């Protein structure tokens, strides 16, 4: 019984090896899946960006940043005067959550923070990177 | 000019008496004719306060502060303005709590207040509470030789207005500046007919000043910096010698000249908005003569909110923007070029921030 189970697992490994593409090739299916995953994160991010429950006072990100504008994800990391140091965008997002939204900070790997970063960056797609710029 | 500067120094002296000294309002000084029959006068302009209800008696502190400071410092103006215009979006979601609280914050004003209706005041109940408690949606009056008109420029198609399951849902969609489910603003045929009738009684030499919430020109459809029937309204104003349109909604400095009509925006007391070019995915038509406002430190609550006072000489406006965290701006009609210009700003060593 144990032997046959091992054989089945071994067969599936061999099968996966046999049918997977070479390491330097993406399939159309892969690309479609990854794009769908990315756009799902963007869509969740738009929801968080317009969610009155992200803070405590009902103010939403989009109120001051329609279409994610004037956030400039392409300029991070950069020095922020009031924080006194060079920070990545998620740190600045937390500043906004704390202050205008009067809310609690999100962890860097909080799914809502990741979704916010996806949405904000997506709205700025095609713009050249200019890290550090003010 | 001399009078304007002395007025400014008076206001600055007064503002130093208040904590922070920020004036989120517009003082308009009208000076028609050189030694003409009509006396000079001024009026102040406060706009886009977006009072936002949280729950119970709690409102968003930041937006309250902007309006409170504007009102307090407006009362310190000397000489006194003849009246104050509130330029629309007193509320964030059109709630009675918000309009009532906004009126309470405006109530210390020692002047008559004229009200312009904004979309945030309108789309919950289609302006019913506004008309009942605050002001008609559109009206005109004469003051010291000037014909003033207030338009409701933020209505839209009936089919859009009537398709929502509730006023709250409709208001929520229209409150999202970038919400793709929104609909373009317009003055509408009925109100244009009223405007035509109103203007028919006025000599063409009478200076006309129009207040609207949205720009009566097309700048950026994505965020409704736009009025769909702007050309039709402009055509009604075209026969007059001197016309000025003052609008809110955009939370930033804009100015333009189309034919005989000068356009000026006023600042918000609540928060600034980016210029349309900051959104890289859509086309915009920011007037080419507009030099964008520079932005102060976004960590300051009153960043890029501001107050302005405006004088009009021989029927044309000059707006002085006093921006608490930015250098002041002056946008004046230049009779030689026939359009508003900011001649000082371009010669400054501080470049305008480009909103890259």
Cis peptide before B86 (omega within 30 of 0): no
The two tokens of residue B127 are: 């302006």
- Is B104 contained in some domain? yes
With 0.80 as the threshold, say if the pTM is over it: yes
- Of all residues in chain B, the percent with pLDDT exceeding 90 is 60
Q: How many domains does chain B have?
A: 1
- Whole-angstrom distance, CA of residue B251 vs CA of residue B238: 26
| Interval A54-59 mean pLDDT | 98
Rounded Cα–Cα distance for residues B147 and B278 (Å): 37
Model pLDDT for residues B94-119, shown as the tens digit of each residue: 999 999 999 999 999 999 999 999 99
Mutation choice for B interface testing from A50, A54, A66, A76 by most B CBs within 10 A: A66
Query: How near does any CA of chain A get to the CA of B73, in Å?
Result: 24
Question: How high is the pLDDT of residue A82?
Answer: 77
Q: Do A64 and B273 touch (CB under 8 A)?
A: yes
Non-local (6+) Cβ contacts of B19 within 8 A are none
Share of chain A above pLDDT 70, in %: 84
Lowest mean per-residue pLDDT among B43-52, B124-133, B245-254, B290-299: B290-299
User: In the prediction, which pLDDT does B166 show?
Assistant: 98
Integer Cα distance of A95 and B168 in angstroms? 30
Answer yes or no: are the C-beta atoms of B342 and B328 closer than 8 Å.
no
CATH of domain A29-123: 1.10.760.10
CB pair distance less than 8 Å for B356 and A133: yes
* Residues A6-31 pLDDT 10s: 555 555 554 455 555 577 788 999 99
Give pLDDT tens digits for B115-141. 999 999 999 999 999 999 999 999 999
Confidence of residue B307 (pLDDT cuts 50, 70, 90): confident
pLDDT tens-place string over residues B13-66: 344 334 334 444 566 655 554 445 455 778 889 999 999 999 999 999 999 999
* For helices A89-98 and A111-123, angle between their N-to-C axes, nearest 10 degrees: 110
Q: Inter-chain contact A70–B299, Cβ cutoff 8 Å? A: no
Q: Closest to B278 (Cβ–Cβ): which among A50, A63, A69?
A: A69
Helices (H), A20-131: 28-49, 61-64, 89-98, 111-123
In this structure, is residue B22 part of a structural domain? no
Of A66, A81, A125, the CB nearest to B177: A66
CB contact under 8 A, B299 and A81: yes
Beta carbons of A126 and B280 less than 8 Å apart: yes
Cβ contacts of B273 on chain A, cutoff 8 Å: 64, 66
In chain A, the residue whose alpha carbon lies closest to the alpha carbon of B352 is A134
Tokens representing residue B93 in the block: 């979601």
Out of A82, A123, A133, the one facing B281 most closely (by C-beta) is: A123
pLDDT band of residue B4 (cuts 50, 70, 90) is very low
Classified as helix, coil or strand, A118 is: helix
Tell me which of A55 and B41 has the higher pLDDT: A55
Residue ranges making up the domain that contains B278:
41-307
Residue A74 — φ and ψ, nearest 5°?
-75, -10
Give the domain CATH number at B244: 3.60.21.10
Residue B24 in any domain: the answer is: no
Tokens 């309108």 belong to B122
Query: Chains A, B: CB contacts under 8 A, how many?
Result: 63
Is B203 a member of any domain?
Answer: yes
| pLDDT for B290 | 87
Alpha carbon distances (Å) from B263 to A24, B88, B243, B252, B351: 58, 17, 9, 13, 24
Sort out which chain A residues have CB atoms less than 8 A from B281's CB and list them: 67, 123, 125-126
- List, for residues B142-167, the tens digit of each pLDDT value: 988 889 999 999 999 999 999 999 99
DSSP state of A80: E
Q: Within 13 Å of residue A15, how many CA atoms lie on the same side as its CB?
A: 6
Work out the minimum CA distance from A100 to partner chain B, whole angstroms. Answer: 7
């Amino acid at each position: 019984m144990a032997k046959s189970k091992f054989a089945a697992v071994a067969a599936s490994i061999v099968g996966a090896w046999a049918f997977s593409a070479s390491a330097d090739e993406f399939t159309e299916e892969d690309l479609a899946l990854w794009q769908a995953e990315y756009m799902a994160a963007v869509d969740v991010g738009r929801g968080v960006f317009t969610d009155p429950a992200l803070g405590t006072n009902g103010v939403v990100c989009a109120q001051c940043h329609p279409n994610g504008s004037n956030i400039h994800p392409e300029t991070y990391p950069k020095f922020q005067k009031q924080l006194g140091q060079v920070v990545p965008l998620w740190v600045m997002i937390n500043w906004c959550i704390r202050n205008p939204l009067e809310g609690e900070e999100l962890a860097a790997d909080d799914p809502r923070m990741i979704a916010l970063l996806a949405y904000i960056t997506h709205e700025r797609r095609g713009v050249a990177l200019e890290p550090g710029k003010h | 000019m001399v009078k304007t500067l002395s007025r400014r120094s008076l206001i600055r002296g007064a503002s130093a008496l208040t904590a922070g000294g920020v004036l989120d309002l517009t003082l308009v000084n009208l000076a028609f004719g050189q030694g003409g029959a009509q006396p000079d006068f001024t009026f102040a302009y406060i706009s886009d306060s977006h009072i936002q209800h949280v729950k119970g008696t709690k409102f968003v502190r930041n937006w309250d502060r902007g309006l409170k400071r504007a009102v307090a410092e407006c009362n310190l103006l000397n000489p006194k303005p003849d009246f104050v215009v509130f330029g629309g979006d007193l509320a964030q979601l059109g709630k009675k709590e918000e309009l009532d609280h906004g009126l309470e914050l405006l109530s210390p004003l020692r002047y008559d207040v004229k009200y312009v209706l904004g979309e945030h005041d309108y789309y919950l109940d289609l302006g019913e509470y506004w008309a009942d408690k605050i002001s008609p949606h559109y009206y005109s009056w004469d003051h010291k030789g000037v014909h003033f008109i207030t338009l409701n420029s933020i209505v839209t198609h009936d089919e859009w207005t009537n398709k929502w399951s509730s006023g709250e849902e409709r208001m929520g969609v229209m409150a999202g500046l970038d919400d793709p489910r929104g609909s373009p603003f317009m003055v509408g045929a009925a109100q244009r007919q009223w405007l035509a009738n109103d203007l028919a009684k006025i000599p063409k030499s009478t200076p006309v000043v129009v207040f609207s919430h949205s720009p009566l020109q097309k700048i950026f459809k994505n965020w409704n910096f736009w009025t769909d029937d702007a050309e039709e309204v402009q055509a009604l104003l075209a026969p007059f010698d001197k016309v000025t349109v003052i609008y809110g909604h955009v939370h930033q400095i804009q100015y333009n000249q189309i034919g005989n009509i000068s356009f000026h925006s006023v600042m918000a007391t609540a928060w600034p908005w980016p210029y349309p070019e900051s959104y890289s995915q859509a086309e915009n038509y920011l007037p080419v003569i507009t030099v964008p406002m520079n932005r102060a430190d976004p960590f300051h609550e009153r960043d890029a909110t501001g107050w302005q006072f405006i004088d009009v000489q021989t029927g044309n406006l000059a707006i002085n923007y006093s921006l608490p965290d930015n250098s002041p701006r002056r946008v004046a009609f230049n009779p030689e070029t026939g359009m508003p210009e900011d001649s000082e700003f371009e010669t400054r060593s501080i470049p305008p921030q480009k909103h890259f």
